[in-house]
Amino acid sequence: MGQSINGMIQDVQTDLEEATQILSEQRNTIAEEKIPMATRLRELQQSVEKLRLEANRAARLRDSSSLDLNSLEADIKARQDEVDYLNNLMVEYLSSLESRLHPAELPKYLDTLASAFSSVDDPSLTQNDKWEVLLAALQDGIDHVDENVGAAILDGQAVSDGQLLNGQVILYGPTAFFSGQGQGGMLIKGETDVPVLYALDGFQSNIDEVIGSGTGTLPVDSTLGRAMAIQQTEESLTEHIAKGGIWIFPILGFAFVATTLSIFKFIENSRMTIGKNVDIRPIIADLKAGNKDEALAKARALPTPANDLIVNGVEGSDQPKEILEEMMIENIVTLQPKLERLLPFIQVTAAVSPLLGLLGTVTGMINTFKLITIFGTGDAKQLSGGISEALITTEFGLIVAIPSLIAYAILSRQAKSTLANLEKISMSFINGLFANSK
């Protein structure tokens, strides 16, 4: 065992010497390599610092470029806004020019204006192409101003009585005159692009003189054609009635019958009106004196219908007072239907006419809504028929109803006044007849 331990100690010492030798060699190797590695580390650190500086410089350049790009984009947007503003301004001017053009000269500029308006929304055209078209239209506008300083004479067309006339047009400010194919006058705007000829009596030679020589005397319309346009829209009563549709005819029928009956009843009731100075005292005196024949003669001389009432009273004067009262009341009651006949029809006319007008209004509005469904609300002329029918029937319904109501009130009052006078006369007759001395 002792020998084994000694052997083990020698082995350990040997291993220790070898490890120490290896450690020493490794330390030498590390010492040799440490200096180059430190040098390499310094070089790498310097390279990193250099790259960091370059990165900072690149970042600064990038930020500066971004600021320049934003500035350029803002500048481009501002210029584009200016272009859009000028574009809109040009379109607005051309629209105003189109509205100011007289219908006689509109064909001359129509193609240029149409091209300009269509180019604005044309995606196939560049901005330069659009500006070329707009500037061409602007030049036409400038030429139009130059040509119309003073007056201008040009070829044109006009419509007269459904005929298309070719001739020459004089543009004098906002007024236009036409002469051609033996007709002449002033031009006003019509329903189409071709103006309408409004004949001016006595000025044909003046217009021809100005066209031929460039000088002369022309009439001036201070309303710029509006007065003549309004005059052309005026319609006769027949044309106005025809626009009312089918329901206008029942209203007119009621109006005719009610008017006829009102005139007839007014004449009839006027003949039966009793004056305030009907004196029955002589008749009562004759009856009291026993002169019944003379009383009858005086009773028959009274105005109608008081004569029939008093005649019946004279004939029944020998009856008791109660019976005589019944006889005279019966006479008044018999006369009342005659005085009030036909008046209910006039009253019905006053009530029915507005209803017929309302019915025509509803029918006209239904037709209007049908046209709106088909054509929309863009063209008001398409809707004028239904609107005219709606309004005209209401108009005539009120025109018929109001006079009918007034006529019924007058005639009814007239009949009631006549009946009241008859009752007054009958009471006076009875009271006077039986007012014997006590």
Predicted confidence at residue 229, as pLDDT, reads 65
pLDDT over 80 at 249, yes or no: yes
Q: How confident is the model at residue 438 (pLDDT cuts 50, 70, 90)?
A: very low
| Alpha carbons 344 and 407: distance in angstroms, whole number | 11
Predicted confidence at residue 117, as pLDDT, reads 83
Structure token pair of residue 381: 């002329």
pLDDT over 80 at 257, yes or no: yes
pLDDT over 80 at 200, yes or no: no
Q: How confident is the model at residue 256 (pLDDT cuts 50, 70, 90)?
A: very high
| Alpha carbons 147 and 138: distance in angstroms, whole number | 14
Across residues 296-300, what is the average pLDDT? 80
Write the secondary structure of the chain as one string of H (helix), E (strand) and C (coil).
Answer: CHHHHHHHHHHHHHHHHHHHHHHHHHHHHHHHHHHHHHHHHHHHHHHHHHHHHHHHHHHHHHHHHHHHHHHHHHHHHHHHHHHHHHHHHHHHHHHHHHHHCCCCCHHHHHHHHHHHHHHHCCCCCCHHHHHHHHHHHHHHHHHHHHHCCCCEEEEEEEEECCEEEEEEEEEECCEEEEEECCEEEEEECCCCCCCEEEECCCCHHHHHHHHHHCCCCCCCCCCCCHHHHHHHHCCCHHHHHHCCCCCHHHHHHHHHHHHHHHHHHHHHHHHCCCCCCCCCHHHHHHHHHCCHHHHHHHHHCCCCCHHHHHHHHHHCCCCCHHHHHHHHHHHHHHHHHHHHCCHHHHHHHHHHHHHHHHHHHHHHHHHHHHHHHHHCCCCHHHHHHHHHHHHHHHHHHHHHHHHHHHHHHHHHHHHHHHHHHHHHHHHHHHHHHCCCCC
Phi-psi region of 278 (alpha: psi -120 to 50; beta: other; left: phi over 0): beta
pLDDT over 90 at 406, yes or no: yes
pLDDT over 60 at 437, yes or no: no
Contacts of 208 (CB under 8 A, 6+ apart): 179, 184
Across residues 360-380, what is the average pLDDT? 73
Across residues 1-17, what is the average pLDDT? 79
Name the average pLDDT for the chain.
Answer: 80
Predicted confidence at residue 404, as pLDDT, reads 92
Predicted confidence at residue 405, as pLDDT, reads 92
Predicted confidence at residue 336, as pLDDT, reads 82
Across residues 278-293, what is the average pLDDT? 78
Check if the beta carbon of residue 351 is closer than 8 Å to that of residue 398. Answer: no
| Alpha carbons 342 and 281: distance in angstroms, whole number | 35
The full length of the chain comes to 438
pLDDT over 70 at 225, yes or no: no
Report yes or no on whether pTM surpasses 0.85.
no
Check if the beta carbon of residue 223 is closer than 8 Å to that of residue 262. Answer: no
Across residues 29-41, what is the average pLDDT? 81
